[in-house]
């Protein structure tokens, strides 16, 4: 199955735009990713609500997306990508809106501590705590406590999988499902970049530069 023509047209427009001059450090790379994602459409979702989740080292920012009004709803606790260093709840807002609408499921996007300020295992500690918090507050959020899973993309997929492994024992916080979008699960070697099937040419990733600065 080929890519959606509307998606391809959108990506070609974005890639044709002049790129911002690269910065030199982690904060520069974070700002560049946020600016890039901010150009993505933010489709309307029935309910979008900012939350504060109890984390092991303090409060964590979170955002609940409900594409419909039915309750109790199944939900996915989502952890964003960004090479473990970049990204946050606000910058990934367009992504999670699209995922919520496409799935018809509630999503709880949770921010986690990132290196270099907070090295491993801080992100996984936060993710496991966020799943426990969501399960414990499911009724108040209009969610079905028996149908709460974890999700993440790229580095967030690895964090989601690691959190699910921690929570695999019997209990109310055990995830019912994992939805891992191109997760970074095999870190033995970096695979070579493959040519894009539609000829899209992507600029170098800001993650590589951030890792070098880190």
Q: pLDDT over 70 for what percent of the chain?
A: 91
The tens digit of pLDDT for each residue in 116-173 reads 999 999 999 999 999 999 999 999 999 999 999 999 999 999 999 999 999 999 999 9
Extents of the domains making up the chain: 23-184+198-209
At the topology level, CATH places domain 23-184+198-209 in: Rossmann fold (3.40.50)
Cα 47–Cα 49–Cα 51 angle in degrees, nearest 5: 150
Asked if residue 111 lies in contact with residue 82, where contact means CB atoms within 8 angstroms, the answer is no
Computed over every residue of the chain, the mean pLDDT equals 89
Sheet containing 47-55: which strands, arranged edge to edge?
47-55, 58-66, 106-110, 73-79, 143-153, 178-181
Q: Report how far apart, in Å, the C-alpha atoms of 158 and of each of 1, 19, 48, 173, 181 are.
A: 27, 29, 25, 18, 9
């Amino acid at each position: 199955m080929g890519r959606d023509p509307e998606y391809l047209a959108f990506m070609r427009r974005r890639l044709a735009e002049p790129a911002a001059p690269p910065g030199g450090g982690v904060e520069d790379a974070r700002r560049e990713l946020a600016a890039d994602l901010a150009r993505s459409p933010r489709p309307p979702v029935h309910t979008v609500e900012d939350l504060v989740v109890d984390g092991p080292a303090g409060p964590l920012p979170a955002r609940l997306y409900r594409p419909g009004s039915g309750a109790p709803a199944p939900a996915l606790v989502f952890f964003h990508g960004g090479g473990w260093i970049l990204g946050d709840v606000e910058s990934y807002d367009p992504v999670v809106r699209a995922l919520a609408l496409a799935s018809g499921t509630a999503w709880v996007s949770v921010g986690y501590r990132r290196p270099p300020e907070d090295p491993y295992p801080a992100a996984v500690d936060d993710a496991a705590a966020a799943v426990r918090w969501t399960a414990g507050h499911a009724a108040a959020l209009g969610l079905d406590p028996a149908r709460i899973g974890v999700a993440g993309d790229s580095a967030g997929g690895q964090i989601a999988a690691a959190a699910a492994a921690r929570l695999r024992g019997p209990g109310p916080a055990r995830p019912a499902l994992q939805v891992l979008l191109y997760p970074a699960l095999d870190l033995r070697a970096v695979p070579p970049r493959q040519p894009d099937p539609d000829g899209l040419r992507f600029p170098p990733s800001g993650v590589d530069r951030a890792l070098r600065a880190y």
